[in-house]
Amino acid sequence: MSLVINDPHAALVAEAAAWTKVLNRYREPSDARSVVELAITALPLAGLWVAIWAGVHFGHYWLSVLLTVPAAGFFLRMFIIQHDCGHGSFFRHRRANDWLGRVIGVLTLTPYDYWRRSHALHHASSGHLERRGIGDIDTLTVAEYRALSARGRLRYRIYRNPIVMFGIGPAYLFLFEQRLPVDLMRGGWVPWTSAMVTNAAIAAMVGSLMWLVGPGTFLLVHLPIALIAGSAGVWLFYVQHQFEDTLWDRGPAWNMQEAALHGSSHYDLPAVLRWFTANIGMHHIHHLCSRIPYYRLPRVLRDHPELRGIGRLTLWQSFRCVRFVLWDETGRRLVSFHDAKSCA
């Protein structure tokens, strides 16, 4: 799709708006396909959980370690099904989406209605420099970083350290932060009810499994699966928006559709990883039309191969994204701490 407009910014906005109309035709989910997707995710996860428990119970720890990574992959895939439910794109009817999302939220330690609201805010403000703070990764501009005190700079550097970002951070997020919706203090009773009911259901689930297999065994089985899946999920979210040529703007210069298409990456993963991550790497398409079920995203690329190159990152290229921590408003790109020293 090509549009001839002299103003480059206006051309990008027009391009994104045109793609939105094209993508609307892929929105309709198939309930039968969704049930199959749920089954081929939930049943293997349950089977692997039991196999890992058997390995721990009978002392075959090597088997448990071997199976934990694929189990985490299915666990992550369950979260992405919950994610599609939050967008109303997994089933045709909202009630079916919401109740499945709430049930999965107990497993993923993510209060569904609270998360759905914060994630909707993320979609509505992604790439807007004046609306940062909810549902995204904290990102400072070069000027903001320079204005910080030495302590503030150290705090930001610690936050951006890969060990914190992809190790300590996900564990804190899923185990503790999501227990209370403090970032939506004024969001009414829905986020709080969602968090408290989910917490009670998590306590019941964990208590029942601990009673069934023992507290120590439960932790040896479930905690590694959840933590690996959580770290992988945060990594995916990071790469989807924290890449060098992403897009941020202020005020009237910001356009939601332009930010969706050019501020979100196409994380072009190998086929196996693409399956386990439920095509969420096709994030530029997802942000532009979040009602497309994840299993229809590959068809979009097959029908419109010109979308493949927009924001494309390979697995190898994505590892460089860890360096990009500050937004250079003059150069209009993310830069490293080192490169920020030479920014105007």
Distance of CA 111 to the CA centre of its chain: 15
92-142 pLDDT, tens per residue? 999 999 999 999 999 999 999 989 988 998 999 999 999 887 778 899 999
| Phi (first) and psi of residue 128, to 5 degrees | -100, 115
Average of per-residue pLDDT values in the chain: 91
Helices (H), the chain: 8-23, 31-57, 61-86, 94-108, 112-125, 142-147, 150-160, 162-163, 169-175, 189-213, 215-241, 256-262, 271-276, 283-288, 297-303, 315-318, 337-340
The reported pLDDT for the residue numbered 4 is 46
Question: Distance between CA 263 and CA 282 in Å, rounded?
Answer: 12
Q: What length is written for the chain?
A: 344
Q: Where are the domains of the chain?
A: 8-340
Which residues have CB under 8 Å from 17's CB, separation 6+?
Answer: 257
Q: Which residues of the chain have pLDDT under 50?
A: 2-6
Question: Distance between CA 341 and CA 118 in Å, rounded?
Answer: 34
Question: Distance between CA 135 and CA 119 in Å, rounded?
Answer: 5
Q: Which amino acid is at 120?
A: A
- Strand-pairing partners, residue 282, are 266
DSSP 304: -
Q: 112 near 86, Cβ under 8 Å?
A: yes
Question: Distance between CA 245 and CA 109 in Å, rounded?
Answer: 33
3-class SS at 281?
coil
The reported pLDDT for the residue numbered 184 is 63
Please give the structure tokens belonging to residue 272.
């196996």
Question: Distance between CA 104 and CA 88 in Å, rounded?
Answer: 15
Question: Distance between CA 309 and CA 220 in Å, rounded?
Answer: 42
Please give the structure tokens belonging to residue 224.
């590694």
Give how far Cα 133 sits from Cα of 85, 128, 130, 136, Å: 23, 10, 9, 6
Q: First and final CA of the chain: distance in angstroms?
A: 35
The reported pLDDT for the residue numbered 37 is 98
- Alpha-carbon dihedral angle through residues 208, 75, 197, 121, given to the nearest 10 degrees: 170
Q: 202 near 222, Cβ under 8 Å?
A: no
Q: Using CA of residue 23, residue 26, residue 28, residue 30, what is the dihedral sign?
A: negative
| Phi (first) and psi of residue 249, to 5 degrees | -145, 170
- Strand-pairing partners, residue 23, are none
Distance of CA 275 to the CA centre of its chain: 15
Q: Which residue has the tokens 């009670």?
A: 200
Whether this prediction's pTM lies above 0.75 is answered by yes
Question: Distance between CA 9 and CA 254 in Å, rounded?
Answer: 10
